[in-house]
Amino acid sequence: MEEFPLKIEVIRATNNHIVELADLFNQYRIFYKQVSDLKGAAAFLSVRLEHQQSILFIAVNQATGEAIGFTQLYPSFSSVSMKRSFILNDLFVLEKHRGQGAAQLLLDHAKSYAKANGAKGLELSTAMDNKQAQRLYERNGYERDEMYYHYYLTI
């Protein structure tokens, strides 16, 4: 039986964490109705880390060493403010570990990292029906964009 509350450590991921990350990333993609592709997940994350195209943090259960969640930040820039920004593209915690603080710790680490790197802020999006995530983000000061429409071109 698991001890509560869970003791969680958040660490910055490296290519040494690809196996755990790929499993979490694959489950994240399945949550968003994508077909399971563990090999593709590992390859995608490996390239991101190898080319320093994203920053990944992993939440680890200290008692078991199990990776229970992750977040991924993509560097970006704001032309208007002429400052760095980060896109918090992914945040995921295994269902059985939700509600125990892992998502909050991951958000805290993302914010600290962005601040330490002189970023203007963090941008994220989530599914319109993901009310639990929306509540978490709003509790942390994220504001829903009411000023701009966001568009996307599929190629």
Distance CA 13, CA 18 (A): 8
In this structure, CATH architecture of domain 8-139:
3-Layer(aba) Sandwich (3.40)
Distance CA 83, CA 69 (A): 29
- pLDDT category, 4, cuts 50, 70, 90? low
Q: What are φ and ψ of residue 105, in 5° steps?
A: -65, -40
Q: Quick one: what percent of the chain has pLDDT higher than 70?
A: 97
Per-residue model confidence as pLDDT tens digits over 27-78: 999 999 999 999 999 999 999 999 999 999 999 999 999 999 999 999 999 8
For residue 2, what pLDDT is reported? 47
Q: Quick check: 110 and 73 in contact, CB under 8 A? A: yes
Which pTM was predicted?
0.90
Residue 106 CB coordination number (10 Å) = 24
Give the neighbor-by-neighbor strand order of the sheet with 8-12.
8-12, 55-61, 67-78, 83-93, 119-123
- pLDDT category, 111, cuts 50, 70, 90? very high
For residue 47, what pLDDT is reported? 97
